Amino acid sequence: MVACIKSQQQIKGSKTVLLLGAGYSARALVPHFFARGYNVLATTRTVSNAERLKALGTEVILYDGTMSTDLNKALAGSDIILTSIPPNAGKDPFLSKLNSPLLNLVKHVSWVGYLSATSVYGDRKGQWAYEDELLRPLTQRGKNRVEAELQWLETGLPVHVFRLAGIYGPNRSSFERLRQAKARAVIKEGHVVNRIHVEDIASAILKSIDAPNPGQVYNLADGSPAPPQDVLNFAADLIDVPRPPELDHDNANISDMARSFYSETKRINSNRAQTELGWLPKYANYRQGLMSTLKEELGERDSVWLSGWIDVPRADLEKVKLALPTHIRLSHQEKDCTFFRVWQDKDRLQKFHVIEKFISLKGYHRHQARMKNSEWTLVSRNAVRHYDIIGL
């Protein structure tokens, strides 16, 4: 059975977007489409997701794998199609269920996007992966993605492929697992993971819609791959909970699926999207992205977050350590400061981690003004600071 759930009033003469399989990334695009005045329709298999989509204002088509009058009408009336349906057994579940070629079902579509994954590259032994390289996936999910990409590119439609790194954002991060003490850091030497914030996916897709180049493939990653344990540890520090226990990869009791993520490692290059689309990720690394994610989850609009570290010259180390307690105490006394931690790294003694939060930009500037002539500023003047700031 296929049901159509009406929601937002259709705007006559406006472009219509059809989201096939409106999951996390596609839902993040809905407000942006509405801001452009587009009509938005979406398919989903579950009632729960249908309610989320309806709450966003979309018209929803409950899809059970069979075509219907509503779905045929949606295809015929769409100007833009974005599909995020994951492949199954080497086939795209949507294309494989069509009774006739998709090209025959659409009338005036100008742009089609397929959300793929960087698993298509397989193992690059930590080297950078580019869009035009030979695809050598090791995992079955990577092989399925390659087949699905080809199916979409062979439809004859103006298809654009986006190979996404690990997606994160509000309500899709490690914060909840850390709070529940369920997170584990699996350590494998040399292993790095690539990431992309959901809002950066949205901005790249919008830029592609504005500058179509059918048949093109784009990598989307923030360009700052990092070991997964570094990300987990930073997230734990950010919400002030214990860092997760570390497990050696070779001896860890983890599922085959989890272990498969460690079977390949690569660094994803996104220069093509930056050069051709003029796209730059708003969140250039996981620190910026996680601070923004937490800020949104907490419902904070005006707060300013700062995180990073300072490298202290060996000659200044003792003076910095002596001044640190007073620096922390005075910062905690500021009415604008709601979170303030500075601590020495247990392995690199000249490195001091920093996390600060202020209620507003004015509060942050008041803190900076107080610090200008402080003892801390004097003793740490030779330190090299590596900061990421959200909220400026």
**Is the pLDDT score of 188 beyond 70?**
yes
pLDDT of residue 5: 53
Helix residue ranges per DSSP H, the chain: 24-35, 47-56, 69-77, 102-105, 140-153, 175-179, 198-210, 228-238, 256-260, 271-277, 286-297, 317-332, 361-371, 375-379
Q: Where are the domains positioned within the chain?
A: 3-171+193-225+264-284, 300-390
CATH architecture of 300-390: 2-Layer Sandwich (3.30)
Q: Is the pLDDT of residue 158 over 60?
A: yes
* Higher pLDDT among residues 200 and 258, named by residue: 200
Q: What percent of the chain has pLDDT over 70?
A: 97
Q: What is the pLDDT of residues 207-241, one digit of tens each?
A: 999 999 999 999 999 999 999 999 999 999 999 99
- DSSP conformational letter for 314: G
| Alpha-carbon gap, residue 152 to 144, rounded angstroms | 13
Residue 387 has pLDDT above 80, yes or no: yes
| 250-306: pLDDT as tens digits | 888 888 888 888 999 999 999 999 999 999 999 999 999 999 999 999 999 999 999
Phi–psi pair at 270, nearest 5 degrees: -115, 25
How many Cα atoms within 13 Å fall on the side-chain side of residue 53? 30
In the predicted structure, residue 354 carries a pLDDT above the cut 50: yes
Structure tokens at 323: 């001044």
Which tens digit of pLDDT belongs to each residue from 120-130?
Answer: 999 999 999 99
Residue 2 has pLDDT above 50, yes or no: no
Q: What is the pTM of this model?
A: 0.93
CATH number of 3-171+193-225+264-284: 3.40.50.720
105-117: per-residue pLDDT in tens? 999 999 999 999 9
Is the pLDDT reported for residue 88 higher than 60?
yes
pLDDT, one tens digit per residue, over 39-68 is: 999 999 999 999 999 999 999 999 988 889
Pairing between β-strand 59-62 and β-strand 39-44 as defined by DSSP bridges: parallel
Section 165-192 average pLDDT: 95
